[in-house]
Structures are given as structure tokens and as C-alpha cells.
A and B are shown apart, each in its own frame.
Chain A
Amino acid sequence: MKYIDEFRDGDLARGLAATIAREVDPARRYRLMEFCGGHTHAISRYGLNDLLPAAIELIHGPGCPVCVLPIGRIDSAIELANRPGLILCSYGDTLRVPASGRLSLIKARAQGADVRMVYSCAEALTIAQQEPEREVVFFAIGFETTTPPTAVVIKQAAALGLKNFSVFSNHVLTPAAMAHIMESAASVSLDGFIGPAHVSTIIGSRPYEAFAERYRRPVVIAGFEPLDVMQSILLLVRQINRGQARVENEFTRAVTPDGNVKAQACVDEVFELRDRFAWRGLGEVAHSALAIRDAYAAYDAERRFDIPMRVVADARACECGAILRGEKHPAQCKAFGTGCTPEHPIGACMVSSEGACAAHYTYGRFRQPAAAPATESKS
């Protein structure tokens, strides 16, 4: 598979690992946050920690749209799905996310709701065309990568004059969340960021420049293949050693400074910024999500249906906030692996396989006997 296999070469990885090991200053720690779940996944799936020197600490950020989806929004989706005659379509990722009262979309389906898993938002539109007598709602999640397809589909629905299709938008924005993390006090311990891959394909590398400058932290945009991650770590180490805070682009094969302008224009036509949006685990983040514009109000499920917007507090037992900000390691949460497991997630980080806790539980927990969690004092 071109553009995949060559970026999974173990021999090249060992070369990079040796260079990283040579160049790190053993007297210090490099605390690097990979914002995206895609990087978390690559790190876990390929066991990258084994290739990195102890001085490098990778912190899994909040870049998993499933994890950060607030419980109240899923409650609303379930409430919608339970309405007689309504079909709720969503990506497979959202179906198992736990909502209030031990419910989830998949359990709502078992209780009679018409919930359908789609691979593409375009399928939801097709279902609406095939079943004109029924209301079809697409429960939309995702970052900048996933938003343009939703925008295309809303525009298509408008062009077709569909009367029974709408979108429940939960699209969120990456730079706002990165800034939110840096605004929290504990973030001072983060030394650099591995920047998003496919999000950046859409938005380009430019939006990170203000971030790097303002917070004095290097950002290296990296592809999701393991060699991309290794190389971006090396680039970050070099910047940190030199005291630099620049935006570098490792994923030049798919990311330009300006990004996909056509996709941006499409999103801009259909969506507008929300003043604030609640992120599971992080709380309210200003200007961090998108709502559907007035011009497309007819396709906005939030306006079309009287959806009760509930605010559900995050579980008190869990340390998701601190974990998402890089203040704590999953194993330092009391609920980790006991009350909170991938089967029965309590907090955001355990919800999807890309969450920090789920990734550690599923792929990495053999590394840490429960008695010896990683701590800041280890270095």
C-alpha cells in the first residue's frame, strides 16, 4: 500500500530511534503531547514507547472526538432517536459511548430506537431520500477533517430540497482545544506538540503559528504512520534543545500552509463558530465548536427539534481532565482498570480506543504493574 507501507519500516524506525537517543539530553525530560487520537493509536499499535529513550514522555491529548463528546449531547441524541418514526444515523464510533442512566445509542437501539450505523454521512442522506416519510437525523461528530463532508451533505440536501433530513452538529475545533490546554496552569510542563495530520490537511499548517508563538512551544505536524511520529519526535527534540518554538511540517506530502481551501470554504458556508462548547473532560471551551448557519437552519436538528440540552457533570471519580491536560498518567487515576475499563468506561479517556486511558489499558498496561505508576518524580 503506497504511502503506508514505506512509513511503517522497522529498520528506518530503529535508525531514527538511535538518533533520538543520541540527541536527547539525558538530564532533562521531554514532555510531548500528541494532540490527536490518531497519533495515540499509532504509538500504541506499533509499541513506539519501546523505541524511545526514557527521557521522552508522550502525553495523549484530547484529540478524539468520541472521547470529548459531552454526555449531555449523547443523551440528546438518544432522546431524538427514541422519537417515533425518526431515524438517527451516526458513525460506528459513537454507538457504544456511555450516556446517562447506563444508556448508549446501541442500547437505545435494542430498546426499539431506529439507530443506524453509517460509514459516510452521505449514506444518511441516501436513507433520507429512500424514506421520505421519516425524519432522518445525522448525529455528526468530528474535528476539522470530518466537518467538510458533513457540510457537503447539508448543501446537497438543500440542493435536493429534502424536507426530512437534518444534522445534529457536534463538530469541534482543534486549535481552540490546544490553546485551552496551554491556558491551564499545569500545562507549563508540556514541552512541545505533535500536531494533527488529517485535520491539518484541511486547515493547513498556518493556524498553529499563532499558537507556537503565543505559548512558546514547538509544534510539529506529523502524519499518522509510525515513522512520521518518530521523525516528528526527533524534530521536536531538536527544537527544544535549541530553545526554539516553531511550527514545522513533517507531513508535507498531505499538508500545505493553506490547507484545503475548497473544503474550508464549504465549511464556512454552512457552519459558524459557537461561543462555547462543553468538552467532556475539559469543560467549557470558548469558540471551540461549530453550529449550522441560519441559511441552513432547516437542516439543523437543534432548531428543527426541541432537543432538551442537558448538562451532565463528568464523573467525579475520574481524572480525565488532568490526564487530557497532561498532568497525570492514566495509571495514576484511582478508577483506572478497576471502576473504569473499556467495557464500562466512566470517563472520556476510556470511551474510545484512542482515548489516553483506553489506549494504555488495551495496548500498554503490561508495561506498568499497578503498584508503580509513572510519576513526575521518576526522572
Chain B
Amino acid sequence: MSRREFTQAIDFRHGRVDMTHGGGGRAMAHLIEALFVKHFDNALLREQNDGAAFALPPGTGRMVMATDSHVVSPLFFPGGDIGCLSVHGTVNDVAMAGGQPLYLAAAFIIEEGFPLADLERIVVSMARAAREAGVPIVTGDTKVVEQGKGDGVFITTTGIGVAAPGIELSGDRARPGDAILLSGSLGDHGVAIMSARENLALDSDLVSDTAALHRLTAAMLECAPGLRCLRDPTRGGLASVLNEFADQSECGMHLREEAIPVKPQVAAACEILGLDPLYVANEGKLVAICPPEDAERLLACMRAHPQGRDAAIIGEVTADPNHFVQMSTRFGGVRMVDWLTGEQLPRIC
């Protein structure tokens, strides 16, 4: 596509998104070129077709595809923003299916009046996250909705990846006796987001754990090809993932509370707000289930990786016709870790 002539530069410092930026005309083309193509820059995107066409790497087993819409308030939070989050979220979804992500697509729904400076900050953050992950954003879409019909910006990303032959990960493959591993401390993201909301006004040095996990999963799959289940405990937290696994695999789970890493700030914020870290969202953690004989080796492999430094074996899969997730408490009792009811809200009683 030939270069267009744009007479006036977009004012990224003071300008705002208006309806013409989504109208399909010159203003939209200008925004795409001066913002998205500039920062996401890669060969496939530069072609500026409606889609990206590419060949698969040789020796590909199965393909993996995942999509994730990102809506987060506030858009900028300690440790990240909606931009890097939207890259990490989808990279991780591909990785949890055993795939190594190749390419991303990104679709933006932007509210009229949204500051261009904020949009640029988000796009720069996305570009950096994609570059660091080695997963280029090769196609995309931009829509603008009228003021009041969006919440700043929503970003949907879709990822394509490939899984090596023989890799079979699925939530229904857990077996009694299997080990449950967690890659690091719980609740950092959820608490960082909640602290940033103005009405809660909690101050701490805690930052979101948002991170791409595909290199960690690649290392794990190489070390323990018999890995059975992988999932990232995002919304609903660890408790939700384990209940999903228990249901899908028709078994129970038994956790040891003292083995589950939780940072002091997260524990404190949860005390203040009446939340349970087991249900708080994470954006850079994973839960793995593997045969017992692989557990120690897998743990060592995870701990050797920057994203798995605090990894721990937190429990085991049990035979249980009720598919209950249970936990031995630090205090010496046993309790259930049930499905989350509704969403977790701060409570006073």
C-alpha cells in the first residue's frame, strides 16, 4: 500500500479520539499509521492488509488459538496497564494450551473523547510487551464508540500458536495422586488493581504480576512432557481453576495452605477488604498438574525460571466422587475451597 500524505501531525499530547478515528477514512488511516503501525512495527503488519497471511513453522504439531477481551479499571495500575495486560493475557492463554504463540491480532474499541496521549501510552506498552514476548501483533482493528458507550478503551487480542507433536494438555487429564504446582505468589494483580481504585485508597509497593508465561511453559513442557493440565488463575483465582480441573477430571483436590505463597501486602489487603487470596485474580501465574514422579523435577525447572522463582507444590489430586477441593489449614483443620459465589466484593461483615 502506498504511503498516504497526511498534512498535519496527530497531536498525541493534547488531542482526543473522535468519531472520525473509527470512520474508515483518512483520519483512521492516519491514526493506524502514526500509532499502531509505528509502534507494533513488523513485516506482516506493514503489508497493511485486512488480515495477515503466514506460513507455519516446519514440524508443527497442532495449532492453538485463543482470544481474550480486556476491560480493566483503572486502565493504568501499579505494574502495568491494559496494553501489556492484553498481550500477556492472550500469550498466556495460548501457552496454557501447550502452544508457543506466534502472532497476535488486536482489536480496539475506543470511547470518543479518550485522550490520545493515554492511547499512545497503552499502544507503546503493548508494543513493548509484544516485543519482549517475541510475539508480533500482525493485524488489528479500530472502532470508536460515542462518548458514554464505552469505558475509555477495550482491547481484544487473539493469538495463534503451535504445539509440538505429542503435547496434550487439558483440564480433564488430572488423576488421583498427581501433584498440583503453583508458579508463584497469589493475588498480586487483583490487589494491585483494587488498591489503585480511588475509593479503596490502599497504598503499598505491591505491583501487578502481569507477565508472559510462554517461555516458562516451554521449559516446563520440555522438562515434563507428561504434564497433564496447565491454566492461569486469572479472574476467580486459584480456587476457580482447581474447581474447574476437579470437575473436568472428575476427581478431588487437596491443598496445603502453608505451601501456598502469598505476599504480606496481599495478605494484609485481603484482611482489610475481607477477601480471600485464593479467589483473587493473577495475570502472571500458572497452575500445573503433573504425575507425582515428575513433580520435584518440574518444580526445580520452574524455580530456575524468572517467572517461576517462587513456585511450590501446593497439594495433590485425590479420588473424590463429589469433586471437592479441600485444604488443610495452617491452623490444623480442613476446609473446602468452593467455587466463587458471584464476584468477590470487598465486605464489611
**A–B contact at 8 Å CB threshold (below):** yes
Spell out A's residues near B (CB within 8 Å).
1, 4, 8, 10, 13-14, 17, 37-38, 44-51, 64-66, 91-93, 95-96, 106, 117-119, 123, 141-142, 146, 226, 342-343, 352-354, 361-366
For B327, give the chain A residue with the smallest CB separation.
A47
Bound CA–CA A8/B267 (angstroms): 13
Minimum-distance CB pairs A-B, first 3: A47-B333, A92-B345, A50-B333
Given A46-B329, A366-B326, decide whether A117 and B346 contact each other with a Cβ distance below 8 A: yes
Bound CA–CA A46/B334 (angstroms): 7
Bound CA–CA A51/B329 (angstroms): 11
Asked if A366 and B349 sit within 8 Å, CB to CB, the answer is no
Given A1-B271, A362-B341, A366-B324, decide whether A92 and B334 contact each other with a Cβ distance below 8 A: no
B55 within 8 A of A: no
Asked if A91 and B347 sit within 8 Å, CB to CB, the answer is yes
Asked if B349 and A1 sit within 8 Å, CB to CB, the answer is no
Asked if A363 and B336 sit within 8 Å, CB to CB, the answer is yes
Given A362-B336, A364-B335, decide whether A45 and B345 contact each other with a Cβ distance below 8 A: no
Given A10-B330, A47-B329, A366-B322, decide whether A146 and B335 contact each other with a Cβ distance below 8 A: no
Given A93-B348, A362-B336, decide whether A118 and B199 contact each other with a Cβ distance below 8 A: yes
Bound CA–CA A8/B328 (angstroms): 14
Interface size on B, residues (CB 8 A): 27
For B337, give the chain A residue with the smallest CB separation.
A363
Of the candidates B199, B326, B333, B346, the one whose C-beta lies within 8 Å of that of A51 is: B333
Bound CA–CA A118/B198 (angstroms): 11
Asked if B332 and A353 sit within 8 Å, CB to CB, the answer is no
Asked if A4 and B271 sit within 8 Å, CB to CB, the answer is yes
Asked if B346 and A92 sit within 8 Å, CB to CB, the answer is yes
For A350, give the chain B residue with the smallest CB separation.
B341
Residues on A with beta carbons closer than 8 Å to the beta carbon of B264: 1
Asked if B332 and A50 sit within 8 Å, CB to CB, the answer is yes
B342 within 8 A of A: yes
Having A92-B348, A364-B336, one finds 12 other A-B pairs with CB under 8 Å, namely A10-B332, A13-B332, A47-B329, A47-B331, A91-B349, A96-B345, A106-B342, A119-B199, A142-B349, A342-B341, A362-B341, A366-B334
Residues on A with beta carbons closer than 8 Å to the beta carbon of B146: none
Asked if B267 and A66 sit within 8 Å, CB to CB, the answer is no
Bound CA–CA A96/B343 (angstroms): 10
Count: A-B pairs, CB below 8 Å: 97
Bound CA–CA A342/B343 (angstroms): 12
Bound CA–CA A147/B326 (angstroms): 37
Asked if A363 and B338 sit within 8 Å, CB to CB, the answer is yes
For B326, give the chain A residue with the smallest CB separation.
A366
B273 within 8 A of A: yes
For B322, give the chain A residue with the smallest CB separation.
A366
B200 within 8 A of A: yes
Asked if B349 and A50 sit within 8 Å, CB to CB, the answer is no
Q: How far is the CB of A64 from chain B (nearest CB, A)?
A: 6
Bound CA–CA A92/B330 (angstroms): 28
B268 within 8 A of A: yes
What would 21 A/B residue contacts be, using CB atoms closer than 8 Å? A1-B264, A1-B267, A1-B268, A4-B271, A8-B330, A10-B332, A13-B331, A44-B335, A46-B333, A46-B335, A47-B331, A91-B347, A93-B345, A96-B342, A118-B199, A119-B200, A119-B348, A226-B331, A343-B342, A363-B338, A366-B322
